[in-house]
Amino acid sequence: MQFTEKSKQHIDSCRFCWMCHHVCPIGNATGLERNTARARALGLSMVARGAIEYSEDIINNVYECSLCGGCMKDCVTGWDPVMFTKEARLGAALDGKLPEYVMKMLENFAAKGNIYGTEKNPNIPVIGGGDILFYLGEDTRAKGCAKSAVELLKKAGVNFALLGDEPISGYSLDFLIGAAAETKAVMENCAKTLNNYKKVVCYDPADAKVMKREYKEYGVDLKAEVVTFTEFLADLVKSGALKVKKSDMKLTPQESPILARDLEELDSMREVLSACGELVEMLLNKKDTVLAGNLIMNEYMPEVMEKVAEGRWVNALNMDAKILVTACTAEYELLKKTKPEGVELMKIEEVLLKCL
Ligand code: SF4
Ligand code: SF4
């Protein structure tokens, strides 16, 4: 297993540091030291030095990270565990050492066009026309539902297209095997379709993140403007295309780490929710937000994912949240599964539909 000099430097800086262990949603869910950035770095530093093999246990540990960036955000010295963890995943792929559960998802992708191996959802309508593409993404098509979102866009009079054969953005492959040739090929294929539109509205922040960041980093030619669904909704409210009546709902945003940290989008969700009701902030919010769930990891560590979501519910209840609002399919699905009594869970589009 080869690491770049940059990764080796970050690994060596993290391996004896304890400073960010308290922010890791996975470490907090499992209570295990192995799930901290430091422990992962310690194992990888020995692999990088050739002192130990890139063993099954170390590779599994590399896949126990959600890449949420909580540690990186907390790091006052600017070291980046997400970067070296992704590089370690790419290394496992190149060395032919991917765990069975990752291989299974890649086989699903080859056979069915999505890592979950689901059949095409017949309930998703195909809508043609317009120069705006509403991009649902792999998580939503396989595991979620965007019915309310489609209804809302129609009510706002948006002329948009929804594809029957939507190409995969590359988010899942980037998560599983990083910057491999396969990931880049999938991204290039997707960009060809996206470039038929002026604007692409991504329902799931995960797809917006790869289109806005990794496409650029990997040299994928994307001409279409990419916006998040939350950003698009905030503009519809501001322009008056969605005429919102303020309600007495108390709304607490669960902002996904991808929106807050990777895309640095901190205002859109708050603007929408403030127009719809009273904004009640979450414990640990904005760039300090905590992951509430990841559907890819739910395929191979579902108990831990449930604990991650339960932890976020505890944070919400500590702030006396009445309605927790999400804008991310993975977080919504995991929060729904673990929802306690006496508190509501809504998607941002459901909140808006209630206030029209
Ligand atoms: S990311 Fe920063 S705080 Fe966390 S282990 Fe590495 S050096 Fe320490
Ligand atoms: S990226 Fe997130 S899950 Fe991974 S070590 Fe850092 S805080 Fe933990």
Per-residue pLDDT, 125:
85
Per-residue pLDDT, 222:
98
Looking up tokens 């098509």, which residue turns up?
A: 141
Q: How far is the CA of 77 from the centre of ligand 1 (A)?
A: 8
Per-residue pLDDT, 129:
77
pLDDT in tens, 49-79: 999 999 999 999 999 999 999 999 999 999 9
Site residues for ligand 2, CB cut-off 6 Å: 23-26, 37, 65-71, 81-82
Per-residue pLDDT, 1:
82
Q: How far is the CA of 64 from the centre of ligand 2 (A)?
A: 9
Beta strands in the chain (DSSP E): 132-135, 160-161, 199-202, 225-228, 250-254, 278-279, 323-326, 344-347
Positions of the chain with pLDDT under 50: none
Residue 225's φ and ψ, nearest 5 degrees, are -80, 135
**DSSP code of 259?**
I
CA atoms within 13 Å, Cβ hemisphere of 345: 21
- What is the radius of gyration, based on Cα positions, of the chain? 20
Q: Report the alpha-carbon distance of residue 56 to residue 298 in Å, rounded.
A: 19
Per-residue pLDDT, 130:
86
Q: How far is the CA of 194 from the centre of ligand 2 (A)?
A: 31
Per-residue pLDDT, 121:
83
Tell which one of 23, 32, 68, 261 to mutate to probe ligand 2, the residue whose CB is within 8 A of the most ligand atoms.
Answer: 68
Of 278, 222, 289, 331, the residue nearest 74 (C-alpha): 289
Ligand closest to the CA atom of residue 30: 2
Ligand closest to the CA atom of residue 89: 2
Q: How far is the CA of 70 from the centre of ligand 2 (A)?
A: 6
CA-proximal residue: ligand 2, atom 4 (nearest): 65
Site residues for ligand 1, CB cut-off 6 Å: 13-14, 17, 19-20, 37-38, 71-72, 74-75, 77, 79, 81
Residue 12 exposed, middle or buried by CB count within 10 Å (0-12, 13-18, 19+): middle
Domains and CATH numbers, the chain: 5-98 (no CATH), 132-233 (3.40.50), 243-354 (3.40.50)
Q: How far is the CA of 36 from the centre of ligand 2 (A)?
A: 7
CA-proximal residue: ligand 1, atom 6 (nearest): 14
